[in-house]
Structure formats: structure tokens, C-alpha cells
Structure 1
Amino acid sequence: MRRLLALTTLMAGLPFTASAFAEAPFSFASAPGELPKNVIPTAYMIDITTDLNRLSLRGKETISLDVASPSRSVTLNQAGLKLSSARLDNGMVAAIRQDDDAQTATLTFAQPVPAGHHTLAIDYTGPIIETPNGIYIDDYKSPDGKPRRMLVTQFEVADARRMFPGWDEPAFKATFQLNVTLPSKDVAVSNMPVTATTAAGPDAKRVSFQTTPRMSTYLLALVAGDMSAVHGNGDGTPIGVYAPTGLQEQGRYALGAAEKILPYYNTYFGTKYPLPKMDMIAIPGNYQAGAMENWGALTYIDNVLLFDPHNSTPHTRELIYEVVAHEMAHQWSGDLVTMGWWDNIWLNEGFASWMEIKATDKMNPDWDIWPRQHDAREHTMAMDALPTTHPIQQVIHNVSEANSAFDSISYGKGELVIRMLEGWLGEDTFRDGMRIYMKSHAYNNTTSQDLWDALARSSGQDVGRVARSFVEQPGIPQINVALTCQSGKGVYTLTQSRFAIHDPHPRALRWNVPVIAGGPGLETRKLVLGAQPATMTVPSCEAPLKFDLGESGYYRVHYDTRALAPLMKSFATFAPVDRANLLGDQYALFEAGEATLSVYLDLTSALPGENERDIAVLEDVIERLDTINDAERHQATRPAFQDFARRVLNPTMNRLGWDPKPGESVLDDMLRPSVIAELGELEDPSVIAEAQRRFKSWQTDPASLRANLVAPVTGIAARHADDATYDFLATKVRNAQSTEMKLRLFNALAHVTDPALIERNVELTYSGAIPDGRIAMALSAIAAESGNPDLVWQLVKKHESEIRAHLAPWSQDGLLAGVARATSNPAIAEQLKNDPASQKTTGARIATARALDAIGARTAVAERIQTQTRQWLASHGD
């Protein structure tokens, strides 16, 4: 048996400039936030009565408080509520002053409230809204076409204050006992099991739930409506999957996933899931969050929880597994142990993003999940290379800023940094550190430093010195590799710099980078590269030593000409993940102006035709070819480039064919739609003709087209659509009851290119055909896919007030930026910059700055693409 032995870890030049954060372990007294900390809630008893016809609620709550020092005033959160009375158990009645802009209510008493324990009773009323945040209604059609109304909550980041007044910040953990009066026919689900149901009138009932463990307000949940469930069990914990009645059987796949994942997590974290049940609830359509980890009552937009054997695809199957694994990971990292403030949201999201892939890979090894994270890595690094990136851990001042932190840096970079730390420390050591972390901080809050301390205890390494360099400062390290030949041996010298795109003056930074290197016939080596150069020596000057082996590190690698040459020669002998990594780094270096496009195109043209079967490699190639093809729009060289790109992809298309073959792998079945769709973009005549033929058959016989091919076939048809084709697809979008099918067909319609049809598409988004929570995303898709983003911008501005009426606050912030970022027109960029809505909130200003950054970077890169593609084609006879 052959083993790859790692050398003893080297610490090369570890010191770096101290972070501005200098974060300490969690302390409630010093945790950031907007509320005073002199009054602390310990328990809530909440009783609400809903009126789903008038869209209103009446509430009574009793809050147990600990008052640290005598005070005449108590300040807590509310948003849109009307507090009618507030009184203490000693009879003191408060004067109430509400600040709706600050989303607070201040209760002032005639005498100071003594220090000690008190009970505060509040009566209030409020609206049940229609946009997908806070407590809201979701109107949908049942499987038999009848109108239905569901009551839903979505409280993260700070919308619990829309259902009850309280201390709506994550550090203020308390217990919650919820009671709700609602229509008698509705099934109600919350974090804990039901303890009692009593009649509350001819058509109403009052449902009471058990008291929750100590937790943050944003994790409380309530969903009620015409629901049914399938039930199972994971490691002794009852698990239910709820869905609109008639669709519950589609929850069995997610149920099976949860039954496998829960025992794995119980073992991994060393702390068993602590609640008496775990329910997962499918929300039909109008659920912007995508999925939410409410403790014991996990909520999902229905297309990432329900699997329809007739209409769902292999990608859907995989997505469901990953999202279920993600939200279940939060039951520990996020719910049991919660970040102290939103500056550490990555502790929740980065960790859960990493854990979802780890668990999915564990249960489904044939899906080849880790190599396919290459795509997520490239998208994350593309954002992190721009001037408007931010540290994973950043200062968050308010709720609007907090919403903007739910991005590729918190999720994607957080995941990749955790994976890098696990690779450096070893799987078992990292797991042992996580067990220490969970046991030490259960039912409490943490900062990143608490995690570093736990990992240091398990590993004996100064984990914080490495981790903080990635978490507390922005950007990407670039490892520069220079090869010299000394006495027949290859000596590699490593230095580091900062990798940046479209940043004329990037701030000089230094990281402590865990580097892994190896290659065919070479032992695997590890070191931690700091400010000082480091060297590695291999037996031959021609040995292909590759860095970031296995693509487990968060850094770019820039090889000098001599170091790159052996890798180019041995490209086909590396594992697929390393081939994808080399491709990704070479294209990124071109974007940064540190390499020519010819290196990437040479590697691509050297792919061994139909013998290149790896999905991670081919999807990298497809994405880059698509980017170049888009940049070549209106260029005389575009037909020649498209001819080259078709030659690259046609061997794979010939191998796969349009229909699956006996014994075909699931990965080939996932790859096929991507290849077909891209060949359609590349104007491949045979692919377009076959797609059109299959589309016509599908129009009369939906069963004639496999679910996996609906997206590429309808997308190609939409790109070439006339009025009749558009009408057919738009009608299908309006009438689709399945969110999965509705969004799939709308994404196809986003490809229409006729200006008149683009205008109809924009109107379709806010006509009621698309769920409110997906409108902003749909408009961004039209701008990106239609090839006419400037027209989409003009149409969105024309109908802006109508569109905004459907949007939740966090969609409001990013609406215009999401549409404008697809443009290359400086006039549109200027309009975005100067639009009052772009400066209205902190979140809007952040979204605008990022969009302007992306526009500038893409425009500059497109110019280089056009010049260097022309040169490469000329030199290669194309």
C-alpha cells in the first residue's frame, strides 16, 4: 500500500501585521449591538391572535427580565407594531414612545425600575404583511388548483420584531413559549411540539407549543396552513417533512437524507441534537430566504425540499441534499452555538456551507462533490479579488449592513477557509476542536476567537495566527513560484503577494498560508508560508510540482515560465481537481493582467477530446468559453472563436449524446444539459436544430422531454423565440404550480433577445407569475442573459415603483445594482451611482459599490479578451 506522507509542518516567516479587529472571546457586555444591555430578557411567553382576512394580529406577551442596575427606561425592538400598554409585575405602568425609523420602543416609568428580576407585560397589534419577511402570508394554489393561504415567519436578520416586541439581537438569548390563535383547519408548526389545542370560536383554535431552549430571537418560527407531513426518525429524534397537502410524498427524499445526516452530525459534533423533534417545512414559492435554520422548524422554499420524480432533475436531487445538510448543520453551528453579533455571521454560514459538502460527500461519494466545489471557489474568489471585497469578519453597524453580509464572502470564502484549516490540521484534529467548541459554548454565543481557541486546544497549533490572517483581512494571497535548477534538482522558491483584479492600488497584505504541494511520483509536502520566502526541493528539474494540491487552499498560484512548463507537459496526468485548479488559476491570472489568455486557451485546446470526462474540468471550460463568447459579442472574430469553442465541446457532446446510455454515471447526466446549453450559446447548428425539434414535441407532449433537458431545450427555444413561442412559455410560467418548474421555465425565458419580448419579460416578473421573493433575482437574470442589459435597466426604472411594492427590505437594497451589474455602459453605471435609491441605506450603498466595481472589472477584462482572442486565433490559424 502506497501512502503520501506529509513533511513536518514548517512555520516560515509567521509574523504579520496585527489585525484591526484584535478580537477577544465572546463577552455579553462587550458584544456589538444597538440596544442597551442593562435590561436582559430571560424568557418570553407570547400569545398572538391572527386575522388572515384582515392581515392583522393582536398580541400579548409576558417577558421575564433581569435588570442589572436601576433604570427609568427600557428600550427594545419593534417594527410596524403598535404597543398599547406595558406594565411591570409591581404595577408600574410605562409611557410608550415608538421610533419606527430606529425600529425601537422605549418604555419610560415614573420611578426607576429596581435592579433584580421583573416581569413585563405588553399588549400590542400589528400587520401581517405580504412581502416575505417578518410574519407574512403566502398565497398559492394547491395541487388541485384551489387558492390557499399560508402563514409564514422569516426572522433573520432582524424581523422577529415584526411579530412581537423584544430584544431582537443574537446575544440576547432567552426561552420562548408560543401560543397562537388561527383558523381551526390550519396545521401549525413551530420550534417545539404542540402541548395543547383548544377551541377559540366557531372557526378558530388556540395552539400552544412547548417552551424552547435558550436561543436567539431570529430562530423562532411559526408556519400554519393546509399542510400534511411524512414522518421518520434519525438517531431517536422524530423527523417530519411538511408540505402543502397533496405534495407531502415529495418530501420523502429529503426525509431520507435527514435520517442519514442526523446520526452523522450527532457523532461529529459530540453533542446530540437537543430538541425533542426536527421538522422541515416546504414553503410554496414566496420564500426569499431560500432556507432557514429555525431551531427544530427548518423552513425551505419548496423547490429545495420537495423532489418530484416526474419533473425534478439530478441537480435538484443534489441541491436538496446539500441544503438539508446545510440547515441541519446550523442546528449546532448557529442555533446551539450562535455568533454574538452579525460581524461573525460567517461562523454560522461559512461553517454550514463547508459542513453541507462534507456530509453530502460522506453520504454520496459517487457525486464527486469536493472537486466540483471548484465552481463555487472561482465565483467566491472573483468577488474577493475586487476592491469592494471585505473581510470575512467585518464591522457591522446596523441591520441594513447585516443583510449585505450574507454574500459569497461569508458563505463561500468562509467555507473554503474552514476547508483549508481542516486540511492543515487534519480531519480528526479539526473534528475534536469542533467538539470542544460545541461543548464549551452550548446555548451561548461566540466570536471567531472562541473557535480558534478550541481548535488550538485540539491541535496544539497556534491556529489563530493562521486563521485570523484570512478572516480578519480582505482579499486573496497569491503564491509566486519560481523554479531554478541546482545540481540536477528542482528548487522552488515561494513568496507571496496579493492577488487583485481591477484594483490599481491594492493594499499590501500578508497572510500565513497553509500550502500543500505534490505531483505524480512526488511526496506530498506542507508548509505555512508567511512574510519570508520558503523553498522546496524535488529530485528533478523537470518534476511537475503542483501547489494547492487537491485545491484545498484559499490562494492563487502564479508559476514562473520554468515552473509552469512541467505542469503543462504533465497536465493530463494530474487528478481532475488539480486540472480544474490549474485552469482556474490561469484564467484568473489573465483577468488580473498577470498572464496572457493564450495559456488558458492552450490548456483548453489540449484537452483530450472525448477522453476528458471530468465534470469539474469541463464545467470550468464551459464557463470560461461562455465568458469569452459574451465578450466577443459584436466582434468580427466571434464566429472564429465560436468555431474553436464548438470543436472543444463537440467531442463531449458526441460522447454524451442527447439521451442517457445504459450504465451512465449521474455526473454525465448532470453534465449533459450544460454542454447542450453552451453549444446553443455558441450557435451550434445541429444542437439548435435538435433542441427546436424536441421543443416542438414537448409543446404537444410534455412527457416526450426528460426533466433534465427541459432547461437547455427551452432556453435555446427562448433565444430564438417568436411571439408564439414566447406566449407558450409565458403561459407555462404563469400556470406552473411547481416552484421548481416555474423558475426553470422563467430562467429559460430570460434568454429572449427580441426587445419587445424583453419588455414583456420584465412585466411578467412582477405580474404575480413569479413569487415576490424571486422578483429581484428574475430581473437580474433577464439583464444578464438577454444580451440587452441597458434595455432591462430602462424598463426597471420605468416600472420601479410597481416592482418595489413586491420586495422585502433586503431586495430593495439590491434591486438596481443587481440589474445594472450586467451592463458595460458607463452611462448606466453613472445613473446607478447617482440614483437616490442607491444611497438610501447602508445596504444599498454596499450593493451599488459592488455593482460598479463588477462593471468596471468586466469591461476592462472584456477589452483584453477581445485583443488577446484575436491574437490567439490568428496565431493558431482560426
Structure 2
Amino acid sequence: MFQKKWIQSAVLLAAVLMATVAGAQARFDFKSTPGLLSKDIRPSHYRLHFDLDPASDEFSASATISLKFNRASPDITLHADDLEATQVILAADQSGRAARTLRVEKNPTTQTWRLIPQDGRSIPAGRYTLTLQYSGRVHKTDAGLYRAPYKYQGQSRNMLATQLEAVFARKLFPAFDEPAFRSVFEVSIKAPSAYDVYANMPVRSIQDQGVQRLHTFWSTPSMPSYLVALTVGQFDTLQGQSGRVSLRILTAPGKQAQAAYAMEVTQKILPFYKSYFGIDYALPKLDQLAVPSTRGGAMEDWGLISYAETSLLFDPNNSAVRRRRQVFSTVAHEVAHQWFGNLVTAASWEEIWLNEAFATWMAEKATDHFNPEWQVPLRRRQPIDKAMTKDASSATRSIRSGAIEEDRVFDVFDEITYTKGGAVLSMIEGWLGPEVFQKGLAAYMQHRRFSNATAGDLWFHMGQAAGRDVARVARSWTDQKGFPVLQVNARCEAGRTRLQVQQQRFASDAQAVDNSVWQIPFIVSHNGKAHRLVLTQPRQEFVWSGCSQSQPLVNAGGQGFYRVQYAPEMYAAIVKEFTSLSPTARITLLSDSFALVQTGQLTLSSYWNLLAQLSAVQGAGRATLLDLARNSLNFLDAVYAQTPAQAALRLRARQLLVPELKALGWSVKAGESSETQLLRSGLIGSLGQWGDEAVLIQAESLFNQHADGKYPLQPEIRDAVMHSAGVGADAANHARLIQLLISANSEEDRWRYAEAVAAVKDPALARQALELSLRGVLPNNVASRIPHMVSEKGTHSAMAYQFVMDHFAAFAELSGEMFGASSWLVPGAASGFNTEEQASQLLADQKQKAGDKGAKTAAQVAAQISLRAVLRKREPSP
């Protein structure tokens, strides 16, 4: 079969080459940028005033917007959602004409207001001031202006914060709410004097007004509406400095000490980014806000970044090493956005990868620079594998996904944008060289700062720096869905090595097979040399002088976003050399081998033979290699879940990894690396999930001692022990975990106990975990995720799924708009499924509950379910 795949017809070759040479990516042009709103009416300045009280469910506000009409218009259309207008006035600037009252015509479908002059006359070209008085509501989920409740010293308190990306600015103020409409924003906020108030810019003045205070802030630079940010609450503040930039981290009271690590990270990466880009951070201050509940992830608002507590705070007495790494990576990502996304903004949501992929790539660079012992080049393989698994199916999309409807915009905030986008940038950097790539990026930043950009702008400047057609290579990765597998064979002939390489799309289902051709920069390591090559055709041969008994290795450094399939005799020879390969080469080979098992191009028995060699690997990368093996075994556990074969799979998995945990022990030892600590935690969690009795007994004992206050768990194993204790919990311990979850006063503890409560194997107790999510005793962000957590373990997936279907409306309210009812709610509850029937059921139920919304996400999850089903059918026994 391998040899037959080399045969290509001339007609097919010509066709795919024509497909590859797609049209050039356009550079930014405001008027041609896609969007709903007319480009003939353009805002330049907003003056926004808000009356806010964290205790209130509503707010009142006003917006004064400076507009330029390039031509006459009968009306003004802008975005507004969940707002109520009380007065709308349009005044012409310096014309002497009287102000005109406008009436509001709402369009809930497009989330717009059409503002129509009551006098029925058209609005001539010119400059105007639009003033709107309106009111809005405070949301319970992280969309628009939202409330984050918490407790301090036993008393309930509230904080207000904002999440305006992608299409939620319109929930806070009427706006031209598309990324291309950059404007200056001048914000003032009146709030009870007991509260502190912060926004994007430093405060200009504070005026006492009885029991309230009016906080007025300096004007922002020109920026898109989704970057406006504010917060009102009672904060502890950790202050710092980086050059001329004033730094603050804002926390709920009592948590200031937990911000110390994030401050240290910020003080490292700000000058690092300034040096790399050759451009200063643009604002005089950078605040970072730890939100104590409600929100998920983080948001890069210019000058006021907000985070879920778990992404910003680190408590040495409670947080594991994994949390330290998460904080560094997330802060590095969000601060990178101050350049990628804020200083230079993606022209439209179709180009959002220019924000997110670059922030992902830059965060990896910074994390590796300051923490080389974390082995970032090895650890990045795990998220890349996850992205590749999604990208191999027919349900994927290209990085630049084309036209995006606003109600589907969150479909593109996924692994394809973040992980694949970042990996493709890393691959192109490796091809061009770090110095050339940095030069091109600095030019892009310099020319596009305080404006918008497209992929065409980026590759133009990269091409100028490199002196070659970078766009031709890059667009084959950004504008095509999927990725290739390189089929490799080599031979020695007359003292020369001949490497035959063929590319075809790597497909996990028949519908994903197509004739795409990529321009593939790749590196071949052979006989101590690195050969930098570019594959431009479906099949090519590369030749160099010299032969060796060792086999050529493709992508040994792991930078390429593609799979490698060696000819059988080559693969066998490389596997024999496995323990002597470099750490990245071992990681890449193990990763590619399992991907080939998933798609039926390698047998599962061959993969077990490769896993058998892991115990002999020593030195750098060993922990990461074992963690990668755990990931593949967890995937297989989902494949065989609820079948007789699962017990056999779990037995083999325990036999492989129990000796590793015994060698490490359960206690952290002085001087051991963070890699070892990560491995120990991962082993405890997986072995507990796989039902290892010794692990479950030890976890229960340690949990009880910890809960009784006799022997606190070491932070490095706390998450894993809680999870394993949850798996084997009886009714008493499960009730204890639930109480710990309800009473937890930090996001870190909530998620830790929620995972443990959801992991229980007893079906009656699992039902209690599901019912807990609707009792109203947990923050919405945690409560809405419990069915997903129950389902993904595989044991009670059907129960979790049915629970969501039975209570869909309640969960839709809990989960909110960003990743809620229309996208992740039903697919998340199906995350543990593994039959074709269940995949079909998911698609039907998603359509029935949400129509076309979320269809892409459902299709992607259904594809993963089908992948499991097909693999189990092909490999009925592990």
C-alpha cells in the first residue's frame, strides 16, 4: 500500500498545484473590510458615562459619539443589545443647524438599533455628535457588564467587571461594534464611594458627590470597542513598576499575596516584549484584575486585563506546579495581546488568528526564555496533538475561516485559531530563521500600529524582510483546512542519500480526504546535519551527499504542523533507535505513531511495542514522554469506555505506569524538578481514574487526613489526590467533597473540588453531582461545567447527557452566551460518548435545541466520537 501511494497522474498534479496557487491575501482596507455596518458613517470618539452599583441589577448610562458621514444617509445603524434608549439626539458640528431627535428601531436578530430622524429628513454628509441616554442590565455570566459574587470574612460581596469580546460591547454601550471601527474612548463612572473604580486608562479626577464618587479617566488611544474595560469593587492592590509603566494587580480582599508571582512574571515579560518588538508598551499603566467568580479564561483589554483567579493568582501553600506554569503562560499570552490585538488589531473576526495565534506563539517564546527547565518545546506537543486530532476530521476549518456571522463568532475561538495558528507561525519562523522573522514582525508592528491588519499585511512585511515569497507558503497553511502527512522513504545510492517525500491530507474520516497540497518547510536530521527543505509538490525527491546507518528523521525538532509516516522498514529501524533519539525526536515519533493508530495506518500492537521502550528512556524529556503516553492511554480509555475491553485496556495501562509511580513515590523530594512533580501528579490522577486499588486507597487516606486537618496535602499532589479520592468516594466522602466545593472561597479550590465531585464512579453519587449544578449554590461558570466533567470521564456519560437535555433551559441560563447554549452545552455533555449512534444523536439534538447555532462545534465533537467508534471497531481488543 505504501508504494502505491507514490503514483500520481500528471492531471491530478496540475490540478492540485493550481489549487495551491490561490489568490493573494488582500492588505487592510477599511472600506472593503467585511462587516454588517456601513463604512460611510465612521466614529472617531466616544464619551461614555456609567452610573454603576455592584448591588444593582441595572445601570444607567450615556454615550456621546463623534461621527463623520461621508455621504448623506437616511439613518444611522449601530450595535446595541439588551439596552433601552431613553433619548437619542443628533447635533451637527459647527453648522448652526438645530439638534434633531432620533427614534430607535430595534433589530434583535442583528443586535442593532436603526436611529431614524423623527423629522423624516435625511442626514447630510458632515460631522455630527450623537448623544444617547440609555439603561442596561448587569449580567450573571461573563458577557457585557457582569457581576462576580464572592465572600470575604463570611460576608457576601459583589464585584463588577466586563467582557466585551467579541460582540458584547453592544451590551454595555451603543457602538459600532466591529474591530475595524477604531475610536478613542473617554470614560467616566459614578459609583458608591465605598468602591474602587478602574478602567483602561489612569484616572484623571475623582469628585465626591454625596455618598457617591465620579471617576473620570484619561482618553484611550484609538482602539476597537471590544477592548473597553472597567471594574467596580473593593480590591486589595499589589503595586509594581516596569520602566515608566505603572503596574497593579487587583484582587478580592485577602488575596493580595497570591498576586506576587503574576507581578514577577509581568515585570519580566514587559521589557522582553519591548525589546523583541522594538516598540514600547503603549499606555502609562497596566492593571490586571483577578475576578473571583463568574468569568472564564482571561481578556486582554488594553491597560486593564481581567482573568479568572486560576489564571492570575498563585498560592504556594495551595497551588501545584501546574498552576504556576498556567499563570506564567496566561499572563504572557494576555500581555502579548497588548501588541497583538490592541496596538495592531485584526481587521475582522475572519482574521482573529492574527491576535490569538501570535499571542499563543509569543507566550511560548517568553515562557521558554525565562523557564528553560519547563521544556516548553516538548510540552507544546500535547496541545498540538489535540488541535491535530480536530483538524484531521472533515468537521474542521481553515485558520482564516472566511465569512463569519456574528452569532457564530465564538466558533473561531478554538484550537485551530490558537494552537494550530501558533504552531504554523513557529514552523514559518523555523523556515525563515528567528532573526528574519523578528525583523519582519517588527516592520509589521511599526507600520500597522494603532490600526488594523490582515494576513496580507503580515506576509507582505515578512516577505520584505526575507526577500522571498513568504505569502505563497503561508497561505497554504492559513487558507486551507487540515494538514498533511509526509510519507517518507529513503535509500542510499552511489554514496548519496535519496529521500522520497510525498504529501497528502492527513484524514481521520473518509469525508476529510481531498487533494490539497501544502508548501511545506521541513527539516531532515541525518548524520549530524540538518537539511532545511521545502516540499512544494505532491511528491518530490531530495538528494544529498553521504549515507549513514542511522535513518533520516523528518521533523525531529517537532516544529512542523504535520504528521510523518515512514516506510515500514524505516519505521522499524527508527523504533530500534528510540532510546538514543533526541528528546524532541522521541516525542514527535510517539505522537505521530499514535495518530497513525487512530487513523488505521499503524496497528495498536505496534504502538504498545513502542510504549514498552519508555521505561528505558532516561534524561531530559522523560517526564513529558510519559505524560504523552498517558494522554494516548486516556484516549484509548474513552474508546473502550462501557465495553468489556475497557478492563483489559486499564490493566495494561496500569502495568505500564504503576512502576513509574512507585519509583517516584507520593512525596515531593528536595531538589526534584518541576517536570518530575508534574509527572507524579499526572500518574496519580490517571491511575486513580483507571481504578488502581492501591492509588484509590492511598488517595482516600490522604484526603481524609487533609480534610480532618491532621496532615495537609502537599500542593504539588493536591489536585491529583482530590481527583482520585473523588473517583472512589463513598457517600460520606462524596458529601464531604460537595461541602468543600460549596464553601470554597477561591476559583482554584472550586474547580479542584468540582472535578473530584464529578469523577465519582458510583452512579447514584454521580446523579447527586449533576443535581448539585442546578441547586444555585455554585457560581454559574462552575455549575454549568459539571455535566461536561461528569460526561468526559466516560462512566456516566449517558446520564450526564440526558440530564442536560432534560434541563436545557436552566443550563442555557447558567452558561451564558459566549460558550453556552448555542455552542458547547450539548457537545460538552456528549464529550464521553464513543458510538456512531451517539454521534448522530448529538448532531440531531444540537439542531433541535439551538438550530444552526453551534452546529460546527457539535460536528467537531461528533467527529471525535466517530473516531473513537471506528478505532474500537478496527481494534476490538487493546
Same fold judged by TM-score > 0.5? yes
Residue 491 of structure 1 corresponds to 498
Partner of 2:256: 248
Shift of residue 479 of structure 1?
0.7
Matched, 1:596 2:603: yes
**Does structure 1 retain, via aligned residues, the 8 Å contact 2:344–2:449?**
yes
- Inter-partner Cα distance in structure 2 for 1:237 and 1:631: 51
Task: Quote the Cα distance in structure 1 between the aligned partners of 2:54 and 2:644.
Answer: 60
User: Match for residue 82 of structure 1?
Assistant: 84
Question: How is 1:435-584 mapped onto 2 (pairs within 5 angstroms)?
Answer: 435-487=442-494, 489-504=496-511, 506-519=513-526, 521-531=527-537, 532-537=539-544, 539-540=546-547, 542-584=549-591
Unaligned runs of 5+ in 2: 1-12, 93-98
Counterpart of 2:45 in structure 1 is 43
Alignment equivalent of 2:691, drawn from 683, 686, 690: 683
1:427-438 paired onto structure 2 within 5 Å:
427-438=434-445
CA contact (8 A) 1:609 1:648 kept: no
CA distance in 1, matches of 2:517, 2:617: 42
Aligned mate of 1:394, from 374, 396, 401: 401
Distance 2:186 2:77 in 1: 22
Say yes or no: does 1:404 pair with 2:411.
Answer: yes
Aligned pair in 2 of structure 1 residues 291, 489: CA closer, same or farther (>3 Å)?
same
- The residue aligned with 1:361 is 368
- Indicate the SS of the match to 1:93: strand
Separation of aligned partners in 2, 1:596 and 1:851 = 24
| Secondary structure at 1:378 match in 2 | helix
CA deviation map 1:33-86 (0-9, x unaligned):
111111000000011112444411111121111111011211000001111222
User: How far 1:338 moved relative to its partner?
Assistant: 0.3
Query: In structure 2, what is the Cα distance between the partners aligned to 1:496 and 1:716?
Result: 44
Compare 595-604 and 316-325 and name the one that shifted more. Answer: 595-604
**Paired amino acid for 2:529:** E
Offset of 1:488 from its aligned partner?
5.6
- Counterpart check, 1:850 vs 2:857: no
Q: Does 1:342 align with 2:349?
A: yes
In the alignment, is the contact (CA less than 8 A) between 2:80 and 2:171 conserved in 1? yes
Q: Secondary structure at the match of 2:45?
A: strand
Task: Tell me how far 1:22 sits from its aligned partner.
Answer: 4.2
Any residues of structure 2 matched to 1:691-706 within 5 Å, and which? 691-701=699-709, 703-706=711-714
Shift of 1:16: 5.0
CA-CA distance at 1:105 after TM superposition: 0.6
Letter in 2 for 1:177: E
Post-superposition Cα deviations, 1:173-216, rounded to whole Å, max 9, x if no partner, equal 000000111111111111000111112332x2111111000000
Q: CA deviation at 1:639?
A: 4.8
1:854 is aligned with what amino acid? Q
Aligned residue in 1 for 2:128: 118
Question: Does structure 2 retain, via aligned residues, the 8 Å contact 1:229–1:242?
Answer: yes
Aligned partners of 2:165 and 2:226 also within 8 Å: yes
Tell me if the contact between 1:610 and 1:652 (Cα under 8 Å) persists in the aligned partners: no
Preserved contact between residue 289 and residue 304 of structure 2 (Cα < 8 Å): yes
Q: Do residues 622 (structure 1) and 624 (structure 2) align?
A: no
CA contact (8 A) 2:642 2:795 kept: no
Partners of 1:481 and 1:715 in 2: how far apart? 43
Between the aligned partners of 1:625 and 1:381, the Cα distance in structure 2 is 17
C-alpha spacing 1:850/1:362, structure 2 compared with 1 (3 Å): same
C-alpha distance after superposition, 1:121-166 (max 9, x if no partner): 1111121222221011111112x12111111110001111111101
Aligned to 1:6: none
Question: Tell me, what secondary structure is at the counterpart of 2:121?
Answer: strand
**Counterpart AA for 1:658:** W
> Which residue in the other structure is 2:421 paired with?
414
Paired residue type of 1:523: K
Q: Which stretch shifts more, 703-712 or 469-478?
A: 703-712
Matched, 1:709 2:717: yes
- Residue 465 and residue 601 in structure 1: after superposition, are their counterparts in 2 closer, same or farther (change >3 A)? same
Residue deviations 1:670-716 (CA, integer Å, cap 9, x gap): 11110122222333333233222212212212643112222222222
Moved more, 248-257 or 557-566: 557-566
Judge conservation of contact 1:484–1:541 (CA < 8 Å) in 2: no
2:740 corresponds in structure 1 to 732
**Which residue of 850, 854, 863 corresponds with 1:840?**
850
Q: Is the 8 A contact 1:65 1:120 kept in 2?
A: yes
Match of 1:148 in 2: 157
State the distance in 1 between where 2:726 and 2:191 align: 44
2:336 and 2:674 map into 1 onto residues whose CA distance is 26
Cα drift, residue 537 of structure 1: 4.0
Helix, strand or coil at the partner of 1:701:
coil
8 A Cα contact 1:838 1:848, kept in partner:
no
Letter paired with 1:197: I
CA distance in 1, matches of 2:617, 2:528: 28
Percent of pairs with identical residues: 32
The corresponding residue for 1:805 is: 813
Aligned: 1:215 with 2:223: yes
- For residues 290 and 303 of structure 2, the distance between their equivalents in structure 1, rounded to whole angstroms, comes to 14
Equivalent-residue separation in structure 2 for 1:200 and 1:861 (angstroms) = 68
AA aligned opposite 1:134: G
Q: 1:183 to 1:602 in 2, by over 3 A?
A: same
Tell me, in whole angstroms, the C-alpha distance in 1 between the residues paired with 2:163 and 2:241. Answer: 26
CA contact (8 A) 1:374 1:616 kept: no
Quick one: structure 1 residues 444 and 610, their matched pair in 2 at CA, closer, same or farther if it must change by over 3 Å? closer
TM-score, structure 1 as length reference:
0.94
Q: Which amino acid aligns with 2:138?
A: I
Question: 1:459 Cα shift?
Answer: 1.1
Shift in alpha-carbon separation, 1:853–1:26, aligned structure 2, 3 A: same
Cα distance, 1:232 vs. partner? Answer: 0.7
Distance (whole Å) between structure 2 residues aligned to residue 373 and residue 34 of structure 1: 38
* 1:132-211 superposed matches below 5 A: 132-142=142-152, 144-202=153-211, 204-211=212-219
Q: 1:220 to 1:46 in 2, by over 3 A?
A: same
Q: What SS does the corresponding residue of 1:17 show, helix, strand or coil? A: helix
Instruction: List aligned pairs for 1:639-650, cutoff 5 A.
Output: 639-650=647-658
Q: Deviations over 1:384-413 (max 9, x none)?
A: 001100000012332222111100000010
Q: What is the TM-score with the length of structure 2 in the denominator?
A: 0.94
Cα pair distance change 1:841/1:338, threshold 3 Å = farther
More displaced stretch, 679-688 vs 714-723:
679-688
Greater Cα offset, 721-730 or 210-219: 721-730
Shift of the alpha carbon at 1:233? 1.0
1:788 maps to what in 2?
Answer: 796
Question: For residue 577 of structure 2, what is the amino acid of its counterpart?
Answer: S
SS class of match (1:37): coil
Q: Are 1:92 and 2:105 counterparts?
A: no
Aligned to 1:373: 380
Residues of 2 paired with 1:497 and 1:836: CA distance?
A: 32
Are the counterparts in 2 of residues 816 and 832 from structure 1 also a CA contact under 8 Å? yes
1:232 maps onto 2:234 in alignment: no
The RMSD of aligned alpha carbons is 2.0
**Partner Cα separation in structure 2 for residue 42 and residue 210 of structure 1:** 16
One-letter amino acid matched to 1:88: L
Q: What residue is the counterpart of 2:749 in the other structure?
A: 741
Is 1:106 the counterpart of 2:117 in the alignment?
Answer: no
1:351 equivalent in structure 2: 358
Q: Distance in 2 between matches of 1:485 and 1:736?
A: 65
The alpha-carbon deviation at position 761 of structure 1 amounts to: 0.8
Native 8 Å contact 1:38 1:69 kept in 2: yes
Alpha-carbon displacement from aligned partner over 1:740-786 (angstroms, at most 9, x marks no partner): 01101111222112221111111222333442124443321110115
Deviations 1:559-609 (A, max 9, x none): 001221331121111111210110110110111121212222111112234
**Aligned AA (1:159):** F
Q: Give 1:858 deviation, angstroms.
A: 1.6
Q: Residue 257 of structure 1: which of 260, 265, 269 is its match?
A: 265
1:420 and 1:554 in contact (8 A); partners too: yes
